[in-house]
A and B are shown apart, each in its own frame.
Chain A
Amino acid sequence: MNIVENFDLYAPRLINKKELLSSGHRACSGCAEVLAVRLMCKALGENTVIASATGCMEIVSSMFPTTAWEVPWIHVAFENAAAVASGVEAGLKALRRKGKIDDRYVKVVGMAGDGGTMDIGFQALSGAMERGHDMIFVCFDNEAYMNTGIQRSSGTPMGASTTTAPAGKVSSGQKTWKKNMPEIMVAHNVPYVATACPSYPLDFIRKIEKAKSIKGPSYIHCFSVCPTGWRSPSHTAVSMGRLAVETGVFPLFEVENGHYRLSPDMPKQLKPIKDYFKSQGRFRHLTADEIESIQEKVTSEYRKLTEKARFLKTGNA
């Protein structure tokens, strides 16, 4: 029995039973992103306002004249979720101060996919984080522009085949390393940055709750398996996320006021990335040499992270 199974035994009892994202949403079968959104809402609770970027989660949840949302939710455009969230936060702050709305504390959350966070939404997010709004921004990273048809983004990992960086006779897919967005957020000196994955629901929920408790900006980068875009079986969406963590491809960690902490879910010994790559169609074209060079990068990046966790841990800064 592994550590995940141990947690699983009591997990449901610790989770808010209320569903704030209703069934009937149009996400693909086996979508781990919508699962992550569902779990996020459970962790946030009702006193939340969400500003969403354009993307999969926006279109699957808000087919006019219906909505899957049971919390206040606004969508404006693709690149501005963080700016809209900062406006909601400022507006609510003023109204509350002036006694024009009830005095309850409402957490404002911005959300976007990897494109809406790391590419087109990057500036708005940087601005909102730098200004110090009391908000959480959650990036649901499925590593490509899935909503528009699996085009590459700066979140697409090296070697993955996408519709705009396809594997071909003279190309092995994505030619660039994935942008390290959590570190860029850490560089904004925001109070809290974390990575998460719905395959580790309690870890994810705890991180959302932590971010919610912080007055100020926080950033959560949520790894969201996309069976459609990754060409992997829908039933493996959760186990695939687990493999990404266990191989160190997507390590779970948090950075609180500059102090790094690896999540307890991280294994002592990483699994080889080929275990993670093998059942994903987007990596199928890679040669053993190519996988080996990606393995080296994953290993060295993970080593850097563990060093930070060792030297920049709480009470040691």
Chain B
Amino acid sequence: MTLKSWKELPIGCVVSDPGSASEYHTGSWRSQRPIWDDAKCIKCGICYIFCPEGCVQQSEDGFFKANMDYCKGCGICAHECWPRAIKMLEEG
């Protein structure tokens, strides 16, 4: 991203682009990734609720997956998934 000159700064440094932090991909922090076993998934959505990144999304078929651009690999989803449908896999 090109850095702005002082003349290009918004007045008062007001940021008027809501949610623009998503330009930054926190997925690079990850040392392990969640893998869903849809056969065990009961589509309860607990992984979606407890994701601190808000990066777990439900697909049209009702199953869940994490957006790897943002998943930091904390493992909360796997730990909280009571049908044990999520496993954490070390990043290679």
A, B from the same assembly? yes
Q: Give A contacts to B, CB under 8 Å.
A: 5, 8-9, 11-13, 15, 19, 21-27, 29-32, 34-35, 38-39, 61-71, 198, 201, 227, 233-239
When distances are taken between beta carbons in the complex, the residues of chain B under 8 Å from A12 are 44-46, 48-49, 58
Contact present for B29 and A29 (CB under 8 Å) = yes
When distances are taken between beta carbons in the complex, the residues of chain B under 8 Å from A22 are 18-22, 54
Q: Given the interface contacts A5-B82, A24-B22, A26-B26, does A235 sit within 8 Å of B74 by beta carbon?
A: yes
Q: What's the interface size class on B, roughly?
A: 35 or more
Cβ contacts A to B, 28 pairs, < 8 Å = A5-B82, A8-B45, A8-B49, A9-B42, A11-B46, A12-B49, A22-B19, A22-B20, A23-B55, A24-B26, A24-B70, A25-B53, A29-B72, A30-B75, A30-B76, A39-B49, A62-B15, A65-B20, A66-B17, A67-B17, A69-B19, A70-B18, A227-B74, A235-B76, A235-B79, A237-B76, A238-B50, A238-B79
Q: Given the interface contacts A22-B19, A66-B23, does A11 sit within 8 Å of B44 by beta carbon?
A: yes
Q: Which of B54, B72, B75, B88 contacts A19 (CB 8 A)?
A: B54
Contact present for A69 and B29 (CB under 8 Å) = no
What total of A-B pairs shows CB separation below 8 Å? Answer: 127
When distances are taken between beta carbons in the complex, the residues of chain B under 8 Å from A21 are 54
Tell yes or no: B4 within 8 A of A by CB.
yes
When distances are taken between beta carbons in the complex, the residues of chain A under 8 Å from B78 are 235
Contact present for B52 and A201 (CB under 8 Å) = no
**CB within 8 Å of A: which of B1-44?**
4, 9-10, 13, 15, 17-26, 29-30, 42, 44
